[in-house]
Chains A and B, each alone.
Chain A
Amino acid sequence: MSPHNKIDLEPPVLTHLLGLDGVPEPVITEILDTAENFLAVLERPIPKVPSLRGVTVANLFFENSTRTRISFELAEKRLSADTINFSTSGSSVAKGETLLDTVKNIEAMKVDVVVMRHWAAGSSKFLADRIDAKVVNAGDGTHEHPTQGLLDMLTIRRKLGALKGLKVLILGDIAHSRVARSNIFGLLNCGAEVKVCGPATLIPREAESLGVEVIPDLDEGLKWCNVVNVLRLQLERMSQGLIPSLRDYQRRYGLTRLRLEKAAKDIVVMHPGPMNRGVEIDSNVADGPWSVILSQVKHGVAVRMAALFLISGREKDEG
């Protein structure tokens, strides 16, 4: 192949993936387009490509997560990267110390990419500023969970064709949700409309400044939206006094078949998992014709492959 015939060379788009805040639409689109091609790879007889042969990825999970870790690990293996796993739910060490210790260990092991889940908001940025490896945020406190946001966006795009102009309702505990924040940033950057719905105690004060309107009534919200993304209700919100009871929450904000039928239109239902069936979502909704929840899981592997692939191909020092 002569140089002139090489496929178009694109400028660098990603050095780290720390969040979707401030990531412009063309970059998100490139990640999603690349993920589409990885979905095709995952359907092949041999669902693996050699692209990241020789690349070492460390999965650092300072907070429990089974499915996100498995999804990342599978994505890494499908790209032929070498992986090491480090999990701890440790809380005895002060957070600054823990992260700096981690940084030193990472540098000693000479890994190329760090995938990190941590309970402290901003921790992945903290790490990215201090190590040579590239960093993918797998969820940092209540800040962001960009790959979840991207896989939700890929799921919506594949189901409804485009993101621009779509109406997405995010339902539940917005205040504590990094999933909500990454979805809000990503969707707004791609021209979708986003509104949030949930108890006033679980709506962040900065909701309006994020560019999303609050709809207090779920039925109103369903009337408005094309997509509803149902968030998991952490059961400790009850002991914190933020909701009166699970039953009350279910009655006002639980997504039921009845409510969807009352809305009388096509609504795509998503949930990042794990679900509290019978609380924020009913079983006949989760398993019903509205649901794309299992597609989300499948798309998660492809989106993570795309993110890992795109950050690996570029020099850290560039752009």
Chain B
Amino acid sequence: MTTERTKACIIDRVGMERTLARLAAEIVERNRGAGNIALIGIRTRGAPLAHRLAKLISSLEGGKNIPVGILDITLYRDDYLISRKTPKVRATEIPFDIQDRAVVLVDDVLYTGRTVRAAIDAVLDYGRPDRIQLAVLVDRGGREMPVAGDFVGKKLVTSPGEEVRVHLEEVDGRDEVIIVELSSESA
């Protein structure tokens, strides 16, 4: 049997607001304005985060409309043929031309880097962006691919026996990031 214990709350509601505000500012700063930016959130929790960041960037840039897309990476996973169960394919919605844009991929947690690898491949099938950057709320280490976040909310060192759980108002009814410790016990 697996039991779990909440080890720590690393970002609370107010902390999440501050973190996202900083990420939005960094994205604008690095790209010298919001002129060419488009955000693409990776399903599931990257999507609401992308919408929030777009709103924040828009208010920093005098109400400029920031295009937001949602990406489902199921068709690009590297474990599709070997995993015993299959995740449901969901819609990808990129309602703008990504050609020559600065695309900022948005996800909640950066861990192995495999999701980001899949997302980059998926984005390139929609056209040739000027550049692709990565914004994540949490970087928990443990990379299995040479991938790095350009905009990182919080950097953590975690062990494989721990899980980082991001809860968002839009999906889970509350804003927080917690670390959960998992332990296997024989019953």
Contact = CB atoms under 8 A, between A and B. Distances in A.
Interface of A: 1-12, 30, 33-34, 36-37, 40-41, 44-46, 48-52, 54-55, 309-310, 312-315, 318
A209 B67 CA distance: 55
A302 to B, nearest CB: 11
B87 interface: yes
Contacts of A10: 85-88
B87 A34 contact: no
B92 A37 contact: yes
Contact of B80 (A36, A44, A51): A51
Contact of B163 (A3, A11, A40, A312): A3
Given A2-B140, A49-B75, A50-B121, A34 B85 contact: no
Contact of B166 (A5, A44, A51, A313): A5
Contact of A45 (B75, B111, B112, B125): B125
Given A7-B44, A51-B76, A55-B81, A309 B88 contact: no
Given A37-B92, A315-B84, 13 more contacts: A1-B112, A1-B114, A4-B163, A5-B45, A5-B165, A12-B85, A37-B89, A40-B92, A41-B75, A44-B126, A45-B126, A309-B75, A313-B80
Contacts of A8: 87-88
Interface string B36-56: 000000111100000000000
Contacts of A315: 84
A2 B86 CA distance: 17
Contacts of B87: 6-10
B81 A54 contact: yes
B165 A4 contact: yes
Contacts of B127: 45
Interface string B88-115: 1111100000000000000111111011
Contacts of A44: 125-126
Contacts of B107: 1
A7 B88 contact: yes
Given A46-B125, A49-B76, A312-B81, A2 B164 contact: yes
A47 to B, nearest CB: 8
Contacts of A4: 163, 165, 180
A217 B75 CA distance: 47
B74 A2 contact: no
